[in-house]
Amino acid sequence: ASIFDGIEKGPPIEVFALNKLFLEDTDSRKVNLGVGAYRTEEGKPWVLPVVKKAEKAVVDDDSLNHEYLPVLGLDTYASAATALLLGEDSIQIKNKNAFGIQTLSGTGALRLGAEFLARVMGRRVFYYSEPTWENHQKVFLSAGFTDGHAYRYWDPTTRGIDFDGLIADLKKAPEGAVIILHACAHNPTGCDPTKEQWVKIADIIEEKKLFPFFDSAYQGFASGDPVHDAFAVRYFVERGFEIFCSQSFAKNFGLYNERIGNLTVVQKNPATSAAIQSRMTLLVRFMYSNPPAFGGRIVGKVLNSPELRQEWMDSIKIMSSRIIKMRKLLREELENLKTPGTWEHITQQIGMFSYTGLTEAQVKILIEKYHIYLLASGRINMCGLNEKNYKYVAQSIYDAIQATK
Ligand code: PLP
């Protein structure tokens, strides 16, 4: 007998289970619209040329070694990441009211920020959009939060944001509640608030004394311009809010498995900076001690060099433009086929994902009959489309809708 006898499996993680099904599928028509990673026109992962260049430079740099990094990471990297988010000329950076902490990608930044809020500050209540990235709730609950609430976000009838619902729900939040906000390219809906809507969200957060925790996993990926994509975060910070913001360089640098992220902290009192950093240091020390170096060296090198940074911006444009083009092709084809329903939302939504509005029954048909893999919520990754398969996908969506009428 083993002491582990009787341990039961936990529930599968949908997106990884779906990917496994896709890999095992031998049908030549198969299409993967599930996993949240960029794919080229040929359906392949993409190592950005500038990342390759920076990787080589890091490997060849004899001044570098494998000594431990500081607990809060590589400062040249974390400062560059914070400046990318807040702007090089951010007054909060100048005043030393903002700083970055290198984390284990975006998830690690969310976890560290949530640990701090729960364990150091005793916060228990958090709000997440309905729907949201499926890991938000789990990360916050694992970090010590106990009381998670949804705020309305998606309106299935308009296939856009339920803004009145969102405001009504935030108004109900108790003082001190932590509000998770997607900085841009909302996952899974692809719908971001307008500038005017952000102003109203900020008004409520200020009035009700809530704490905004931004999640920035797609800076540059939404519009192709990192400055444009940082609008919401910069607006809050310029308005004087204290915030946390998790940043991920998984998507916009294609560094998924290097686990390179940053937690940007903006706070009003420069005198408390050292105390916050000290408590963060202890949280990291007890979780994983200190972060890995390679991803931070790459991103730091690129962001800190004007030429490499420009190359990176060019690559972001290539990725975001390809996504926008696929949106256009898919929508046109669905409309050409006279697929029941309206399809403007496909091109109105931004970022990697589209919330199609397909029902669970339709998704099941797409997977089982057409070998097209997508989440049960109807979320598709636009990068899974290319000029060779978009017509097949549109026709299959048409058929799935007809079959469930
Ligand atoms: N937040 C959102 C909204 C995401 O979509 C993702 C990844 O899919 C993440 C955070 C975290 O990603 P990672 O930990 O790979 O940086």
pLDDT surpassing 90 at residue 270: no
Q: For residues 33 and 362, is the Cβ–Cβ distance under 8 A?
A: no
Nearest to 382 by CA among 188, 228, 133: 188
User: Is the distance from the beta carbon of residue 107 to the nearest atom of ligand 1 less than 6 Å?
Assistant: yes
User: Is the distance from the beta carbon of residue 192 to the nearest atom of ligand 1 less than 6 Å?
Assistant: no
CA of 38 to the centre of ligand 1 (A): 13
pLDDT bin (cut points 50, 70, 90) of residue 148 is very high
pLDDT digits (tens, 9 = 90+) for 209-222: 999 999 999 999 89
Owner of token pair 């420069």? 270
CA of 169 to the centre of ligand 1 (A): 24
| 273-283 mean pLDDT | 97
End-to-end CA distance of the chain: 54
Q: How far is CA 381 from the centre of its chain?
A: 13
Nearest to 211 by CA among 186, 189, 244, 248: 244
pLDDT bin (cut points 50, 70, 90) of residue 306 is very high
**CA separation for the pair 268, 285 (Å, rounded):** 26
User: Is the distance from the beta carbon of residue 250 to the nearest atom of ligand 1 less than 6 Å?
Assistant: yes
| 121-138 mean pLDDT | 97
User: Is the distance from the beta carbon of residue 217 to the nearest atom of ligand 1 less than 6 Å?
Assistant: yes
pLDDT digits (tens, 9 = 90+) for 66-98: 999 999 999 999 999 999 999 999 999 999 999
**CA separation for the pair 113, 128 (Å, rounded):** 15
Whether the complex's predicted ipTM surpasses the cut of 0.85: yes
pLDDT surpassing 90 at residue 20: yes
User: Is the distance from the beta carbon of residue 133 to the nearest atom of ligand 1 less than 6 Å?
Assistant: yes
**CA separation for the pair 275, 270 (Å, rounded):** 10
User: Is the distance from the beta carbon of residue 105 to the nearest atom of ligand 1 less than 6 Å?
Assistant: yes
| 182-193 mean pLDDT | 96
pLDDT bin (cut points 50, 70, 90) of residue 143 is very high
User: Is the distance from the beta carbon of residue 253 to the nearest atom of ligand 1 less than 6 Å?
Assistant: no
Atom of ligand 1 nearest to the CA of 106: 16
pLDDT bin (cut points 50, 70, 90) of residue 35 is confident
CB proximity list for 360: less than 8 A, separation 6 or greater? 376, 378
Note if 325 is an active site residue.
no
- Atom 12 (ligand 1) nearest CA: 106
Choice from 19, 35, 128, 135 to test ligand 1 binding pocket (greatest atom count within 8 A of CB): 135
- Atom 13 (ligand 1) nearest CA: 106
Atom of ligand 1 nearest to the CA of 250: 16
Q: For residues 349 and 191, is the Cβ–Cβ distance under 8 A?
A: yes
**CA separation for the pair 377, 82 (Å, rounded):** 33
pLDDT digits (tens, 9 = 90+) for 343-358: 999 999 999 999 999 9
- Atom 6 (ligand 1) nearest CA: 217
Note if 133 is an active site residue.
yes
- C-alpha distances out from residue 394 to 194, 241, 332, 359, 401, Å: 29, 44, 9, 15, 11
pLDDT surpassing 90 at residue 33: yes
- Give percent of the chain above pLDDT 90: 97
CA of 366 to the centre of ligand 1 (A): 26
**CA separation for the pair 34, 366 (Å, rounded):** 12
Backbone angles phi, psi at 241, to 5 degrees: -70, 150
Note if 251 is an active site residue.
yes
Choice from 187, 246, 258, 263 to test ligand 1 binding pocket (greatest atom count within 8 A of CB): 187
Rounded mean pLDDT of the chain?
A: 97
From the candidates 162, 192, 198, 251, which is the catalytic residue? 251
- Atom 7 (ligand 1) nearest CA: 217
Least confident of 7-16, 108-117, 302-311: 7-16
CA of 250 to the centre of ligand 1 (A): 8
Instruction: Say what the pTM is.
Output: 0.96
Q: For residues 71 and 281, is the Cβ–Cβ distance under 8 A?
A: yes
From the candidates 46, 133, 154, 198, which is the catalytic residue? 133
| 302-325 mean pLDDT | 97
pLDDT surpassing 90 at residue 271: no
CA of 248 to the centre of ligand 1 (A): 7
